Every structure is written in C-alpha cells, then in structure tokens.
Chains A and B, each alone.
Chain A
C-alpha cells in the first residue's frame, strides 16, 4: 500500500513537469524578493512574504496545497505525512502518520514529536512566544504525538476550515530539541528538513540555499540551489529580469511591468496570471456621522460601477475580478447572478446611482464631503482610491484622499480616526470560512475597522463556520454575504486582486497560486537551460 502511494506521489510529481518538458537537474535559480529584509526568519512569528519566500525552501510542512495544482482551493496533499487522513470522532480527531526516513539538515531523524511540538507552538504558544496565526486555530484543542510516527489533532468542534488552516505555508516544522532549548532560535537561524539546505544569509541582501541530497521526495529538488535577492524597488527587479540577473520575482508585478517585459523579452518571458486571495474594501467608520446611517453606507456602494470599472482598472492595476466576500475561485463564492442581487453589484448603474441619490437625500447627506484614508502603497491602493473618488463624484459626493505611510495608516485604522478608509483582506491559503472573519465586529475580530457592533453578523458567521454540509454551507454563506454587503453595507468590496508573475521561460515547474505565500519551497522548480 505504502509503495502504491509512493508511486502515485512520484507520478503526480512528474506529470506537470512533463507538460513543461522533461525536468532537468542542476542549476541555480536566482530570483528577487520585492521587499526589504524580513524582521526575522521565523515563519511562525512573521506574516510577510519576505520571510516565506526566503525560507520556505528550507522547511517541511505537515500538509500543503498540491504544489502541482496550487490554483486549487481544496487539493491538499501530504508533505511530511504519508496520506491525507479521514477524521474520526465526528470530524473532531485527525490522525496523521509521519513518513519514515525524513532527516533534518543536521542528519538527525525527524519524528512526530517534532511535528507536534511545532504545531503546539503555532496553536498554543508558550508565554513570550509569538504565533502570528494563532486565531486561525480556534478549533484546535490539543496536538499530541502518541508515538514517533503519529500526530493527533483533537478539535473543539468539527469544521471544514481546519484542513485549509493546517496547510498554512508558514507552519514550518521545527526541531523539538531546538524549540525546547530556545523558542526564539528560529528567528535568526535556519535548520529544517525541506528541499534545500541553508548556505548563507547576508543581512538585508540575499539568502542562499543548496540542494538537500537527503530530501524525502525522491528525485526532488531539481535545482542545485537558489539565491534570493531582496530588492524593494520595482525598477531594479525589471532591469534584473531583462538582463537575466534574476529570473523573476514570485509576488506579482503590475500590468505595466508585465507589458514592458513581454515587449522587451518576447518568448524569453512567460507570464502566469490568476486571481489573488487579496482584496481591498472600502470601510466606513460607523462611529462617525453620517456613516452610522445604513442609507449613507448603501449609497456609497450603489455609486460604484463594479462591472465596468474592474476591466478598465485591470489594464493599469493589480485587480481583475468582481467578487463578494469569498475568493472568486472558491466553491463558496457567489456567482455573477447572485452578486447582481446585492447592493453595489446591480447590472444597471443608472438605476443604482438614482437609488444612491435618493438614499442620500433621505438621509440628509446630499453633497456630503468626507475624507478617504488610504495607505501609501501604489498597487492597487492608490488606483482604487482614484477610481472610487471619481465614482462617488457622480452622485455628488466630495471626497478628499488622505494617503498615509504604513505605520500612521494602521494607527489611523486602530484609533478610528477616519471617515472612510481603504481597507484590505489579504490571506494566504484560500480558506473562506476563516477569511470572512474580517467582516465580524471589532470585538470579535480585532482587524475589523468599521467600529460596529452587530450580533446578527456574528450569529450568521457561527452558523457558516459550524455547518459541514457543503450545500447548506453555501446557502448560509450567501446569507452572511448579503447581510454584510447589502442589508448593513458594513463594507464595500473592490475588485479582487490579480496576481501577475512574469517569469523567465527557462524556469519550469512553478505554477501560480491564489496566494503569494504558498507553493514557495521550490522543490519542483527546474531550469530548462
């Protein structure tokens, strides 16, 4: 049986590579990380892609999205486990068997105790130890390793949010012995069991790795090594790709960069695109008048022509798909017809704007002037703001944009010192049940900045979260969505981001996914040179 699974895994690993040609071993992949150096190298602690792009190749995870089908939202496969388990105990117990023969880069054996210890640090960190994604695991009661090959997750309640949460790309497996000795060791050091071994980290400059000859996925990785160079300036990245100093960056470039590279490099560049699990929203501060009035909030939504705006914006900004609260590629996402029933998505924009004007008049807010807080980030924040300010002007609103650097922007959000703000919801693995937590009141979900209390939205959320029948869950999701976007207009969704990754054509075996955090261990990447 084990042999059969091994064979299937090997076959799966080679299939897409064949679509690209026969994989070749060797070569060093040089890519850019469009950021300054990350605060630390610890995946459990950090939230930035700068950490995950630089360090994911060194680490194993328990399960992950299929690296050969990363665009999927539910194709989860084992990395360290031997097979994806079926839950027992009415969906409340998940038992994973850990592979044999997995070695740490120092040569010692990786056991279930290491996996359980790492997960305990993520789910229930010790005092003084930070775990950035702890709230994603509210459903987990206990993680244990009853023997050297078994890891058991006991849940507080059964939920389909658990498996996607478990495939978190930051959930690196660390060595228990090191964690016990110093839980902060991994912030500044690297020692994993992934496809590449650590070679060198030049602070703020680059990260280098070399092939792990003991890697447990047979035949992988294909590369001899990689060099990741930190470069926050987009012009440097484009020049470097042009001159082949680097093959690509994995986060995503704007349409203008794509067009420039495609024009200059022709067939030497391949562009992969897809919907991105990131979205901007427009959130009104319910504590500020007149935004406490639902009629005003609905008018703000009704003024915006999503269907015409999205394709036009896509030419210049990293946005593409009109969607609701759920990532457009997910089975739980609303269809176009369903969306068109919701305020702000009506197909007839003239009717929509007429209704907006009527609501403003009724609320005594005609010709309302207010400030739109925005973050000093070009793509797509500033483009979106420019667009909606223009849309709002069509119903007589006078809006002034206030652009702030990251620190003051967050301070503004948290202190509630704004009228209306450009907000964001950027998640890793597509996990709608957790991703939509963003729209819960601040008292439940601290990263909500609307400053409202609303028990009904909490009840609707709990119903979706605890429903395990997919048809009922989808129906409950529509109720939640309609309530958030239409009934209360707590927030206004902007078009979902588009991820555009131009990559040198000789780089094969990497596929775009809905998140720039996932599928970055480079195990299946090879160079056709």
Chain B
C-alpha cells in the first residue's frame, strides 16, 4: 500500500509540471501584460518610463525561454516566486485566501453530505413514490440553478425579509473574521454561501446516492441478507449503503476539490476573499506567477483528493487491494 501511495505521489510531479508549462504558455498568449493593466487599469494616464520600470522590475522584459526555465526551476523547488501584481510571495497571497475557501468547502460538504445521503437513500428505498418525486425535483432544481444566482437571491431575500420584519434590512457581514476570533460573525458570514454552494453539491450527490442505492439493493447479497432474516435497518446501513458509498465518495472528493478555487462567482457575490476570487483577479491582471501557482494548487488539490478517495475505497471495500 505504501508503494502505491508513493507511486501516486510521484505521478503528481509530471502532472503538476505539465499543468504549469501549459498555463505558462497560455497566459503569455493573451495580448497585453500586467504592467499595462496595473498602470492603466485605473483609467488615468501613466509615464511610459514607469511602464519600462515595471517590466524590468517583474522581469517580463527578459527572453521568454529564460522566464520559462526560471519558472520550472522554481516549481521543482516549490518556490513559486512573488506575485507580479502585489510583489508579495505567492504563498502569502494564497495563504491569506485559503482559510476562507477551505471553510466554505468544508461547510458546504457537511451541508451536502447531511442532505444528500439520507435523502438519496430514502428516494431509492421509496422509488417512484411521491417522496421520491419530491426529492428528485429538489435535486434537479439544485443542479439546474447556478449557485451564484441562488446566492444573489438569498441575499436579497434576507435583506427584504429582515427589513420587513424589523424595519432595518440585514445582511451577513462582508468583512471576513476568522472563526477563532469571532465565531458568530464568522458563521453568519459563511453560512449563506455554504448553504447555497452545498445545495448544488447536495443535489448532485443525492442523485448519485439514489442511483447507487437502487443498484445495490438489487444485488444478490442483499437478497441473501433478507433471506437470512436480517432487519431492514441493518441491511441498509451495513450492507447496502456502505457498498453504495464508493461512487458517492468519489463524487464528494471531486466536488470538494472543485470548491477550493472553483467558487469564482459565488465568492464575488458574497464578497468572500477566497482562492476563487484571487484566481479571477490573477487572470484579469495577467499576473503570470500567481495564476501559475493557483493552477498548480488546484491540480495538487485534485490529485491529492483523488488519492485520499482511492485510499478510502480500501476501508469501504476490503476486497480492494492496492498491490
């Protein structure tokens, strides 16, 4: 098993480098550069000497190949340099945003799992009943509606309802406070985005739970368990659900990885200073170093989440052996 893990970890290296090289090339295909955005983005005029200084300062006046080799050498040493936009180390920029995105991702996953697995299971067990129809409509609604739209509507609803009840509209805080500093302010800020993101996530997982459960419930060993006279609760919890969880865990893993850096619009709607918003800024500003680092972070999160999911398979299904 350790050999398997080592092999998977080693495989991430060419994956990361490939992604890095690709994003390095793609970013430089976009016309313009960060200095033009930085000096002219505000709309005012600027000194052409400032533009030349800016190019020299961040090193984009050097030959393309020199920049590429420097970047690859930095990536090998896990040194992603400094943001071309802020001049701060890329690690500092990402570290400032990661807690927000992680918190939303964890809370959204909690919301999704707590909704998806019970409802998906009930829906499968009560197939074609009115309850199944309600759950399926709920799930399709979640998949069909973009999270950011639900976010905008939920904020407006909160504003209007609170204004109607108390006379003063209320909305969640817009200035992030870490949980350990002020748990109430923190949770009131992240609850709404976690629910809106969690709903879509739950909808996808719910459909997967339902279909996996439907399949498992038709298996021979379930029939055998019933024939043995096991009570229904035990059959579902111990035999059916555990086996149905394999594809669900995979899906939850992929969704979780997506949430780190993927909540581009939702983070903007709720003014969350997360990795997704940083990603958009980095691309808009043509901040090559930061974009490259963020792509590599996203790839790494996907790779390691998938690895964790694979390892979880062994616990869920003891027949799976990694060698």
Report which A residues bind B (CB closer than 8 A): 30, 36-37, 39-40, 45-50, 128-135, 184, 187-188, 202-206, 227, 229-233, 235-236, 239-240, 242-246, 278, 405-412, 414-415, 424-428, 437-438, 446-447, 517
Contacts and interface: CB of A to CB of B under 8 A. Distances in A.
A130 B284 contact: no
Contacts of A128: 53, 56-57
A488 B286 CA distance: 37
Given A243-B171, A411-B31, 11 more contacts: A45-B50, A132-B46, A132-B47, A188-B88, A203-B92, A232-B268, A233-B271, A243-B159, A407-B33, A426-B45, A427-B45
A415 B155 CA distance: 44
A447 B286 contact: no
Contact of B273 (A40, A205, A245): A205
B278 interface: yes
A447 B46 contact: yes
B44 interface: yes
Contacts of A412: 31
Contact of A133 (B47, B92, B171): B47
A228 to B, nearest CB: 10
B161 to A, nearest CB: 12
A146 B88 CA distance: 38
B87 A131 contact: no
11 contacts: A133-B47, A202-B273, A203-B96, A203-B97, A230-B273, A236-B174, A242-B171, A244-B169, A245-B171, A406-B40, A446-B48
B30 to A, nearest CB: 6
A317 B53 CA distance: 36
Nearest to A42: B87
A483 B43 CA distance: 25
Contact of B44 (A30, A39, A47, A408): A47
B269 A410 contact: no
A204 B50 contact: no
Contacts of A446: 48
A245 B92 contact: no
A410 B40 contact: yes
B70 interface: no
Contact of B174 (A246, A408, A410): A246
Interface of B: 30-34, 36-50, 53-54, 56-57, 85-88, 92-93, 96-97, 152, 155-156, 159, 162-163, 168-171, 173-176, 268-271, 273, 277-278, 281, 284-286
A244 B168 contact: yes
Contacts of B273: 202-205, 230
A134 B47 contact: yes
A41 to B, nearest CB: 10
B271 A39 contact: no
Nearest to A50: B42
B203 to A, nearest CB: 24
A159 B27 CA distance: 45
Contact of A428 (B30, B44, B277): B44
Given A203-B88, A233-B271, A406 B32 contact: yes
Contact of A202 (B47, B48, B176, B268): B176
B107 to A, nearest CB: 19
B164 to A, nearest CB: 12
B52 to A, nearest CB: 9
Contacts of B96: 202-205
Given A39-B85, A243-B169, A405-B284, A229 B45 contact: no
- Which of A129, A187, A203, A428 gathers the greatest number of chain B CB atoms within 10 Å? A203
A206 B48 CA distance: 31
B176 A408 contact: no
A132 B171 contact: no
